[in-house]
Structure 1
């Protein structure tokens, strides 16, 4: 029973859920200009977690053929036949229904609609349409992962504004460097299953160049929140320092990729881990800013 429960939990990709919720809760703090209602936070987090988990389950069902062939994914529940595709589909639909019900009943219709849209976009646009067809798969498919910033804001305010849109764009421009660094590490896996991730079809130096471009745009977008949202100096100081660290690491990886395809030399996972830390701390700064200036 313990193994079966662990298998179902694994289908939801808990680490992805953690990252998505990390961009939801801080935005709620900023929207509330302080500490938001605890019940609202719990409902939004629970609904968001179920929604993201549902999308991940559907992704695992659709990609089970290639997951079985990739080192990074072959120990998931479906490739190991611990959970059947039918049972996984039922689980995914149950999570989706619970998510929508929670957000409708205890948050608001706009947040519920945004959650359903993100789920559908990830499954139908990214997983089924883009992932196996274009090098731009993660660029546009990554839009689904940007929705939590909007959901966190609408949960508190019931409406949209430019503030969550800027944070939405920060996550949008963050996604390619984050994902391409990981894809560079596992490019042989993607190549073996004919998934045209950018590191599969382009040399490492070109991947590094595009990562640097997206990184600069991401940092510039993060700083745009200062005038748009009228933050205190706490946020721009944090965004500048974190952005500088990210850019240094991105440029270093690009430089290491010149004239070599050796992953030992390029060390793409350094940038991947840096990207996780960057996004986490940036959104912590978003949450802290209104608390400092109250």
Structure 2
């Protein structure tokens, strides 16, 4: 049976999020299946990062639901209505969908290896020796086998982001959420991070990637969502999003971006 015939791994229904009187998300509906890579593109302020933070309940939506493998995220239904999950249950759900941020968020006083194994040891109770072995393997996987004992201050931005990806993988998540993973990097360091994400996609990791890297999204993503004004303006495979059948606003956005950056579709940036 194909992936698309199965129930979605992540299901978002009628999601709304406001900050004061400003409605940022206006009824988002998306299904993501196991091993799919979804890219989210759109202008700044369109709601991309807010949507990602709602999925992980770093921001709490006012309306709608998010389900991970059928389980309601962030809440539980009771006879008296929907109630927030206890902190322990929410933490368990978050471990199932690890997040990689723009700015790495590494512990500066801990080595690359110590950053990677913190979650498994402290949160999941993994044996420290077992965690070190796993962490060393993951750092090798992201090309940092020679930097296991280096502190963040001794790592480049690209290396720090790869440590952050290894840290996310250490939680053995079902899905990884990437929030502009290359936006804080110097241009010459972007490629090394995108290579790691590309490798994860080839291995079948389910991922959501908020990105401005259009060439990369075209190459790696199975589906691309174009958000505009807090709504799903367009959704489809790269051939649709970057083709003549895309919605008018999508075509205008991608045309302007590609002209500005002189991107040739089908080739990574």
Under a length normalisation based on structure 2, what TM-score does the superposition of the two structures give? 0.32
- Answer 1 or 2: which has greater helix percent: 1
Under a length normalisation based on structure 1, what TM-score does the superposition of the two structures give? 0.30
